Amino acid sequence: MKAFGIVNKIFPDDNKGSRHQKFTVMLKNKQTVLIVHNIDIGKKIPDLHIGDKIEFNGEYQWNSAGGMVHWTHHDPHGRHKDGWIRHKGQLYQ
């Protein structure tokens, strides 16, 4: 899933097991999705704020809350298509 969105909620990093940066974005169609970005593999977005615009590419997984997007980083094993997040002109993979 490649899309644009506005950050509308930021959660504390999930540090259990593989570490993840988590936040939700509202898409143009008003759907909200959770971004789950692995920061053990990809680089953490250091200055992320509510209201920021991001572009992202990752694997979408539906759920009743609107869905989640993961694999927003490169796959070191080559089993998934590489994903990314673009924030303020910087690419995080």
pLDDT confidence of residue 23: 98
Could you tell me which CATH class the domain 2-92 is placed in?
Answer: mainly beta
* Sheet arrangement for strand 90-92: 59-61, 68-70, 32-38, 20-26, 2-10, 53-57, 84-87, 90-92
- pLDDT tens digits along 1-59: 789 999 999 999 999 989 999 999 999 999 999 999 999 999 999 999 999 999 999 99
Which pLDDT belongs to residue 46? 94
Q: What is the pLDDT of residues 71-87, one digit of tens each?
A: 999 888 888 788 999 99
Break the chain into its structural domains and give their ranges.
Answer: 2-92
Q: In terms of C-beta density within 10 A (0-12 exposed, 13-18 middle, 19 or more buried), how is residue 29 classed?
A: exposed
* Residue at token pair 């089993």: 79
Give the model's pLDDT for residue 49: 98
With beta carbons less than 8 A apart as the criterion, state whether 93 and 73 touch. yes
